[in-house]
Structure 1
């Protein structure tokens, strides 16, 4: 099984990706994670990516695609993979399709888009609180700690990440929408797109995703 998880920040891709990874015994490949791993490992592409990241510039498509290509060549991807955060643009989507066909002789099975209303996304992300000590996550509305501002697990202080404030969240969502709208159209035209209502219960969303993948 080879598929992409699409969805805005806060849509639940991380939660669903982890469960789907265990279900299908395939890795979740996050562009951010493999970029950091490539930089840490000091690979040639990682070093190149680092030079752009240190200047605060976007890593060029060809570098990102090269890093993804190297990751897909690893043995744990032999039976499939879940892509999270890649592709972000139509150019990257086109390059991914060509790479899979030319390098591995395979194609994507599906592109699963988790759709959540913007106001719900803002509420989800802006309400997140993270323990400064152990990294445990909470939410002011749906996952409150036993004592306000205090982590249940280690007693550390809970705080809001700088990029989780409402103004920043709305800006991130605007960028996502600008980048992703053409990508949704692209995969809709290929017949791969499967849209999932991400507003309900997490277990129901997971069940819906598994159902469309079986089809």
Structure 2
């Protein structure tokens, strides 16, 4: 019921994830990122705690394969879980339990991994990774969104999707991009629209957090700053 792509940008060190599902609010449960540490997609019959524990282990310096193995070995009900991880060096790992739903698949490349379950075809993750790679040179988050679109165009989930999300972290302690469409008949198109509106403002919001006196105005009535 989910397809996702998780990646580390080698030029900037940013981690990012895109995800979509037939379930509502998928990004609220499945997306786990921490600046300088790594990323964990925890999906299928989701246990968000796996993402939290995985990030703590990655932050301690364990590699993606070590963390994945530790989660599988120490957590009950892993037969129902699907994981995809990227560590601070861009190494990837994955796990799909024996009770992963429907057609499921994982595909990876350098610093990137896509995973899905209840898919229309096992080629969906490969199409996502291929899109991400083909868009090299474009802004990181734009590549992620393009990969999500490619997954949908390849067939996406076996049924209609209703939620989608985009999240990116870098050196600050919060996500510089955390956009969600929690329920819609066209969640990926809606996410593309939100990203198009938000992209030009990302750095402004970072500057407002770090030094509001030097940040640009909001451009709304009552704000006199240029």
Bin for the TM-score computed over the shorter chain: 0.3 to 0.5
Bigger proportion of residues as strand: 2
TM-score, normalised by the number of residues in structure 2: 0.32
> Which has the larger Rg?
1
TM-score, normalised by the number of residues in structure 1: 0.33
Bigger proportion of residues as helix: 1
Structure number with greater CO (CA < 8 Å, separation at least 6) is 1
